[in-house]
Homo-oligomer: A and B are copies of this chain.
Amino acid sequence: MDITTIGGIVAAIGLILLGQALEGGHVGSILQATAALIIFGGTLGAVMVAFPKKDFVRGMKLAKDVFTEKKHDVSGVTARLVEYATIARRDGVLALEGKLKEVEDPFLRRALQFVVDGVDASVTRDTLEAAIDAEFEENVIGAKVWESAGGYAPTIGILGAVLGLIHVMENLSDPSKLGGGIATAFVATVYGVGSANILFLPFANKLKRKLGLEKERKTLIAEGVLSIQEGVNPRVLEEKLRALSGEEAPPAGADKRAA
């Protein structure tokens, strides 16, 4: 469970409603089914027009990743790659074949398979990089579905408010209904601005970041496996992977001894 997503939504909506309640407003006055129908219906429709069906579905599916947490265990990956590098250096890359079945991560397994199969290094690099890029590009479209929802919602909110105001203006002769009518119209703005800024745009941002972290992790694996294929010294590999993953280097003294 992604604690900042759940916590953030609860905090944002909770504190806004709390403030509203403390101010003496009724929470009920901002619950309006017709405004919701206009804003969320209009936004849904606009997003459907804006994306092919496949991308739209991908965006909907990706929504669950906003709420779940994947472990990006970068140090674990680094440690494992260094271990494989040590084995490969000592016993040759074919010795990694036995390790293959215990590898759970499908991308790491796929990359190691190339090494074990003795595929040419430049083909391995091209294929792994193409796979990383293609997967990222495809998934990022899913994040853009939410970003575009965050772009359309506030303007559809304004549209809903203006529609409400038109309705109010036609009934100016009955001033007693004026305030309530305008209030109703404003709820559309609240729904449009609120859903965009508390849900849709933050969702898009979190998805992009998570996809970026996953891409970094796979790039680390690809670099590591390619270095193993080249027979790089395990200690140098560790230093390189630490640098790539932005981890602090061990203190110089420790480095010294390792050398």
Chain A 211-226 interface 0/1 with B at a Cβ cutoff of 8 Å (1 = within): 0010000000000000
Interface SS of A by simple majority? helix
B residues less than 8 Å from A210 (CB atoms): 52
Contact status A163-B110, CB under 8 Å? no
Contact status A131-B196, CB under 8 Å? no
This chain's copy number in the assembly: 5
Contact status A199-B23, CB under 8 Å? no
CB closest chain-B residue, reference A9? B49
Contact status B190-A162, CB under 8 Å? yes
Size of the A side of the interface (Cβ < 8 Å), in residues, is: 123
Contact status B41-A16, CB under 8 Å? yes
A residues near B (Cβ < 8 Å) are 2-5, 7-16, 18-20, 22-26, 29-30, 33-35, 37-38, 40-53, 55-56, 66, 100, 106, 109-110, 113, 117, 119, 123, 126-128, 130-131, 134-135, 137-138, 141, 148, 152, 154-156, 158-160, 162-173, 176, 178-180, 182-184, 186-187, 189-190, 193-194, 196-199, 201-203, 205-206, 209-210, 213, 236, 239-240, 242-246, 249, 251-252, 255-256, 259
